[in-house]
Structure 1
Amino acid sequence: MKSSHNDTITISQSFHSIQPIIKTMKLLRTQTFPKKKTYPNSEPNFTKNLHTHSPFSTPSLYIRNDGTIQRGGFKMKSGRIEQYRSYSQFSTLEEFNESNKMALDIHGHHLTKGERIAFDVLTRFSVKVLGVCNARICKLVQACQDIKGGISRSTFERMLRKARTLGIISILHTVRETGGYSHNVYIFNRFDTPNHEQLTSRKNDKKPQIPTADEHKKEPETHLVETKTLKDKDLRQKQVKTIDQINISDLDHSFVPDHIPAPFVKAIKPFFNRAKDICGLWDRAQIAYRSAKFPTTTSIDSMLPTIVHAFKQTVYRYKQKRIQTGFVPYFYGTVANLLTVEKRKMIAEDTQWGLWLEG
């Protein structure tokens, strides 16, 4: 049967009954689904040990709160400093300060000025639980900004890498409940732990045999070789430590590099004996030579008498107390002026300028 566009179509004629659909929607609204499986609070907490001071760290190991190690397990929650109290190796604040002082006495020369600032801030944030800090690195870097101009985040991270390599601290990663890594936990290692091990006597030990005269003569030779080797090793370590402690300002003229001409060093060293000052004056002379833009055929060594003459003129003016700025700036200006005069003479000789005045 065909219907025209003027015919009216009822719901009962075109669709099924709507009652079953309403019943289904009510059933879905009232239906209860099983809740997500949760674990009781008695389950042990774990934290993943990704970075320790040992180069043979195992990324797949998890550390319990009681110190035992197990593969896999639940991760330790982040944000609560009290749960890391078992990692503390110090009982009093004096022990913590003494350990850090000893660590800096041994490895402090490896840290720069900015890294020492970062280390001090990390120490101050590790007092609530002695030797343990769980502050975020952005907060630690922000705390450094009020100390001597502050430091950058890369400087703080470089300090952490050095301290972990030297064994001063250990670094643990924590994870969030929703997944993903959270902040780090920094644990200070103890540097003043005494050695309580004692030597014990062997059971049924035999009496030593009395050495003969020949054996007694050979013994000192062996000890002499061992003692000499140990002394050489200690001497090398002392030499390395001494080199680190000597400042570049303490080196005399004998440490001047070879690229600086010997006549220039000979003229300067009666007045400036330090290698740093001699190199600084030579750098000013090179800048003045490059500013004059001599031809490539004219080297700076050919201008050496002019540079030495400029230095002597500067010394004379300094003795007269006629220099108002400083010795080095005045020396640079004198060298630049004298080199300009020499260049003008060279140009006049090459072009024969002014010969028409002689007729």
Structure 2
Amino acid sequence: MLIAGRIENFKDFSKFSSIKEFNTTIEMFLAEHKQDFTKGELVAFKRLVRFSAKYAGVANAKIGTIVKAINEKLNGLGVSRSTFERMLRKAKDLGILSIENTAKSKGGKGHNVYIFNTIDVLKKRKLTYCESHENPCESKDEDDNFQGETSILLETSMIKRLNTRKEVPLDSTFTASYVPKEFIEAVKPFFDEAATIEDLWKSVFLDTKAISDIVEPDTITYTAINAFKQAIRGLKRGKVKTNLVRYFTGTFKKLMDRTYSELPLDLFSANH
């Protein structure tokens, strides 16, 4: 078990290269799971995110300290300890948060250490869950967690959600703000659904986060647009045998690898 101490003692638990990457991950997570939290739990979640800013994605404040900060901010109309604890359980179950217990050096239980996970960890967790079931992606839970799943064909996503959830999908105007407008405009004539567009962009984000400080954002965006157009051509020509997301992801990787290999060497030396 970890020994309780200052936040500096736990900075190596951070899974993010920058606060920007951490904030983007939280935005992507909430775009998919905001509805899973009550209003009070959402307030608690966002406050924990703020407490995790010094070392991106890591916090070690006591629950009482965080709850007190919330209530002071909202003039006593904040959240209870039980609400905060419910939020922690949900966040952990959804995979965005890991919790490590600590012990005091002189004995007794210490504070918890809260560690936020990256989007790729969430994606692997969903795929592992899907693969461990005899009938993957057909249960209600799997449909509720459809976004980000690469095992469901995009061509049938709207119909499947309408049949199982009986609700109208949000169109492209509801797409999360982390997706570039140019990419949205390129995709919506074919898939005018926010969740579908976000699924595609998550693949782009995961494949480029390691080089995002080297490659210009516009280059990534327009490479993704080019890859999507090629994926659509492949779909119309019958080359997409299983999954459009996989086809798009593979095409984007090839195009991005080509772009990456053509970057001037001085860019790499400048970042080391």
Instruction: Report the TM range for the smaller structure's normalisation.
Output: 0.3 to 0.5
TM value normalised by structure 1? 0.35
Would you tell me which structure has more helix in proportion to its own residues? 2
Report which structure shows greater RCO (CA 8 Å, sep ≥6).
Answer: 2
TM value normalised by structure 2? 0.46
